[in-house]
Chains A and B, each alone.
Chain A
Amino acid sequence: MIPKIDFPFHKVHFCPPKFFVLSLVVWVLIFIARINVVFADNPVITDEAQQLYQQYQDCVYQIRVIDLATGNKSTTGSGFQISPAGYLVTNYHVLADAIQHPQRFRVEYLGHDGATGDLQIRDVDVIHDLAIVKRDGEGHHYLSLGDSVLMKGARIFSFGNPFDLGMTIIEGIYNGLMEKSLYRKILFSGAINPGMSGGPALDHKGQVIGINVSTAGNQVSFLVPVDYLKTLYDKFLSRPSGQKIVWDRYIEQQLYENQEHYLDELIPSSWPSISFGEAVLPDAISKIFKCWGNSEDKDNELYKDAQLTCSIEDDIFISSEFSTGRIFYQYHWLTSKGLNSIRFYNLYERFFDDRYDFENANKDDVTNFECETKFVNVADKNWKVAFCSRQYKKYPTLYDMYLNMAMVEELDQGLLVTVYAYGVSQPKALVFIKKFMKEIKWQK
């Protein structure tokens, strides 16, 4: 999972003095190390960045989510103004707490000149992690929205307030749209850090091409293409003003439509297959899946285990403890290397009973799992199939699903097929799982 880059103050604990001294020493060491890096790399500070910063610093804000109980900030991110009417853009995940628990949090901005004021949340896109907020007052400077398709290698500039240290501008390279991704993010080679979420990335003309969203570390960062923002903003403007949005229903609708949309594309397409043991199983069923293989055949083990895992790597962030949207499936081909069938089936049972912990949600978000176990005829073989599901409490049309199947036909061979689907609707997921089971075939 790619870590989000909002800065969770509530997770920073105050240390006793002993640790304070220790951490001070560590900070000093890090500081020295950084100076070394600066001297070693000697980055070229172009005038371009300086000019862009001077020109647009008053369009960029720090966005703060304030905990009402303590009056202090619990999360910070960045944002930028996109219209003279006072509309600002940031990431959904920066505001997630305030949307999920409006009675506990409020949102405010901090301008480059130190001015602060309240913000009202007007619209969100949880799928692409965008939010539109409104500030009081008009006529301030704003950024114009550009085009997210640039030449690969183009220099782009990202604004943001990392670790609440102050507004910064960083320079990096545009590296195109991610191919193997459900939600097509821009790959940005530059160091986006916690707190910069929601800040704008500009081209040399000063137009917004994307919005900072996440980082995988080591200069591998991601931007939301500005096209999704344009779509969201157009939809927002076309909606009659004064219409009150019920966030739970609104987010549920977005999640529901998103899964319908990608499953509708996934289900009818023809799936490539792969020979796996003696079976023929679905390979990466579309280009958004990444597959990783692994096999173990140690001399001291009495069995061979070949496994393949295919996964969508995009999570949809709903709150700090609740994410969804992922689908993955896993195969194990187990063969005995000297275990008799009773011992082999004990081993097989351990693989089948792999108690997978669904850590994507907690008890406020989902019910417990209900499971059914049955014998099913798949590819003219006998399988024991466990099918489990749990419902989302706030979004009751959506479920997490878990299909775990073990072939019980051979005495010294086993095939496990496990499918995990997060945040899917009942009818679509059942069609998907049916197709998945029907794609399991045997080599002639």
Chain B
Amino acid sequence: MAKIIIEIINHQGVLQEYRTFDSFPVRIGRGYQNDLILYDPYVSQEHLKIVEDHAGWVAQDLNSKNGLYLYGHPKTLPEIHLASGGEILIGKTRLRLLSSLHPVPSAVSISTNSKFWERIDALPNMMGLVLILFLLVVLQSYFDSIKNLSLGKLASVAVGVIVTVVIWAGSWAFVGRLIKHRTFFCAQLSWISLYYVASIILFEFSSYIRFFTCDHMIVITATLILFGVLFAVLLMGHLTMATAISLRKQMAASGMISLVIILISLQFHFVIKNEFNPVPEFYSKLCPPFIKFKPARSIDKFIDDSKGLFVALEKRKQEEKF
């Protein structure tokens, strides 16, 4: 059994190789007489040696030009005591010293171990979801149209959507191919279709809420937050299938991307807010009144309330002065 394993990490933080040694001392440097020969111009010919002691190992500087550092510490040291997992820096190379008993994390499964992903990766399920999306988009364009369009025209919109989701899923499959050596194309396509279906349903069912909410800002804020969360969930799903990163990292990455998109749209809103606009902007959502109600607000009350508008204008004028 090897007494020491040295992990060599280059200046870019990329792991280069593992070397095992059975006897001490281990001499490290750029010269060919060393036990471990390093290709790093900042390392001296005979840079250091590692010897055994009762608690682990000691790294001893051999009068090198650039010195010996404990990784993450600013000062050179003549001697460093290390246990398994300890890291030192010489020149621009990082060395991690490990004992053969050093624990490693359990292997990540290539096939995602959740039943859900397996199910949506099945071809019939994928076909079903894409078909549902297709029909939903056809239905949506039918309800949006004010003329009787032929089925072909309605379908052409849906075909466009399907092509888009196939390209999207394809790029994630490519990422999966690179990282996990498996594409999961069906699962990726099912997942984006599911997202699309959910968005359409959410959008259509929220139309009544948007109709009754007369405030532009509330509607926009709620939409941004809702779709931000939904988009983050979408990205997390894609990452689960295409990469092996932990749930926490997935959440961080997709959360950040959503947040950045929201922030960019907010920034855009604030940039154009005070731009001159000759068009009165109001929230104009109308929905068929399947449930009828009589508003309590009379004309007199409405006119009285509208004085708030002029207060808002006065405030806007003050803002624009600054």
Report B's interface with A, CB cutoff 8 A: 142-148, 214-216, 274, 276-290, 292-300, 302-303, 305-310, 312-314, 316-317, 320
Q: Which of A349, A355, A396 contacts B279 (CB 8 A)?
A: A355
| Pairs of residues from A and B, 4 with the lowest C-beta to C-beta distance, nearest first | A363-B276, A388-B280, A373-B214, A353-B284
Name the residue of chain B whose CB is nearest to the CB of A336: B146
Which residue of B has the minimal Cβ distance to A387?
A: B306
Residues of A within 8 A of B (CB): 300-303, 338-339, 341-350, 352-353, 355-359, 361-363, 367-378, 380, 382-391, 393, 396, 399, 402, 404, 406, 408-411, 426, 430, 433-434, 437-438
Interface of B is mostly: loop
The residue of chain B having its C-beta at the shortest distance from the C-beta of A396 within the complex is: B317
Q: Who on chain B is nearest to A380 by CB?
A: B294
* A411 pairs with B288, CB closer than 8 A: yes
Return the chain B residue nearest A303 by Cβ: B146
Partner of B288, one of A303, A345, A350, A402: A345
Q: Are A378 and B306 in contact (CB under 8 A)?
A: no
Chain B residue nearest in CB terms to A346:
B144
A390: which B residues are within 8 A, CB to CB?
280, 313
CA distance A370 to B307 in the complex (A): 12
Q: Find out whether the CB atom of A357 lies under 8 angstroms from the CB atom of B303.
A: no
- In the bound complex, do residue B289 and residue A382 qualify as a contact, i.e. CB atoms below 8 Å apart? yes
Residues of B within 8 A of A396 (CB): 317
Q: How far is the CB of B255 from chain A (nearest CB, A)?
A: 33
CB atoms of B284 and A352 under 8 A apart: yes
Other contacts beyond A349-B286, A367-B316: 8, CB < 8 A: A369-B277, A372-B282, A376-B299, A382-B289, A406-B286, A409-B292, A411-B290, A434-B300
Min CB gap A369→B, angstroms: 4
Residues of A within 8 A of B303 (CB): 430, 433-434, 437
> Chain A residues near B314 (CB, 8 Å)?
391
Q: A344-B288, A374-B297, A406-B286 are in contact. Are A385 and B280 (CB under 8 A)?
A: no
A410 to B144, CA, bound (A): 19
Contact of A349 among B142, B214, B284, B299 (CB under 8 A): B284
Measured between beta carbons, the chain A residues less than 8 angstroms from B280 are 356, 358, 369, 371, 386, 388, 390, 402, 404
Instruction: Give the residue name and chain of the A residue nearest to B298 (CB).
Output: A377
Bound: A66/B165 CA distance, A = 63
Cβ-neighbour of B278 out of A345, A359, A393 (below 8 A): A359
Hey, which chain A residues are within 8 Å of B309, CB to CB? Answer: 370-372, 387-389
Find out whether the CB atom of A377 lies under 8 angstroms from the CB atom of B296: yes
| 30 pairs from A and B in contact (CB 8 Å cutoff) | A302-B146, A303-B146, A343-B146, A346-B145, A346-B146, A349-B286, A352-B284, A352-B286, A357-B279, A367-B317, A368-B316, A371-B281, A372-B305, A372-B308, A373-B214, A374-B214, A375-B214, A375-B295, A376-B297, A377-B298, A380-B294, A384-B286, A391-B313, A391-B317, A399-B313, A404-B282, A411-B288, A411-B290, A433-B303, A434-B303
Question: Do B306 and A367 touch (CB < 8 A)?
Answer: no
Q: How many inter-chain contacts with C-beta < 8 Å in the A-B complex?
A: 159
Contact B306 A430 (CB under 8 A): yes
Tell which of B282, B285, B293, B306 has the most Cβ of chain A within 10 Å.
B282
> Is A382's CB under 8 angstroms from B295's CB?
yes
Chain B's nearest CB lies how many Å from the CB of A269?
19
Known: A369-B277, A370-B309, A373-B282. A409 touches B144 (CB 8 A): no
Chain B residue with the shortest CB-CB distance to A369: B280
- Is A373 a contact of B297 with CB atoms below 8 Å? no
The answer to whether A382 touches B292, judged by C-beta atoms less than 8 angstroms apart, is: yes
Q: Please report the C-alpha to C-alpha distance between residue A255 and residue B314 in the assembled complex, in whole angstroms.
A: 20
Q: Which of B142, B296, B316 is close to A370, meaning CB atoms less than 8 Å apart?
A: B316
Q: For the complex, what is the distance from the CA of A396 to the CA of B310, rounded to whole Å? A: 11
Contact A382 B293 (CB under 8 A): yes
Chain A residues with CB below 8 A from B320, complex form: 367
Cβ–Cβ contact B143 & A346, under 8 A:
yes
Contacts of A409 in B (CB 8 A): 289, 292
CB distance from A390 to the nearest CB of B (A): 7
CA distance A391 to B280 in the complex (A): 12
How far is A375 from B18 in the complex, measured between Cα atoms in Å? 73
Does A371 lie within 8 Å of B276, measured CB to CB? no
Measured between beta carbons, the chain B residues less than 8 angstroms from A347 are 146
Nearest B residue (CB) for A361: B278
Contacts of B281 in A (CB 8 A): 369, 371
Q: Can you name the residue of chain B whose Cβ is closest to the Cβ of A347?
A: B146
Task: Determine whether the beta carbon of A434 is less than 8 Å from that of B276.
Answer: no
Residue contact B214 to A369, C-beta cutoff 8 Å: no
B302 contacts A368, CB within 8 Å?
no
Complexed CA–CA distance, A183 and B102 (Å): 97
Asked if A372 and B306 sit within 8 Å, CB to CB, the answer is yes
Given contacts A342-B288, A375-B295, are A368 and B276 in contact (CB under 8 A)? yes
Alpha-carbon distance between A64 and B296 when the two chains are bound, in angstroms? 60
Is B312's CB under 8 angstroms from A370's CB?
yes
* A303 neighbours in B (Cβ, 8 Å): 146
- The residues of B that contact A383 with a CB separation of less than 8 Å are 295
Kindly list chain B residues whose C-beta atoms are within 8 Å of the C-beta of A376: 295, 297-299, 302
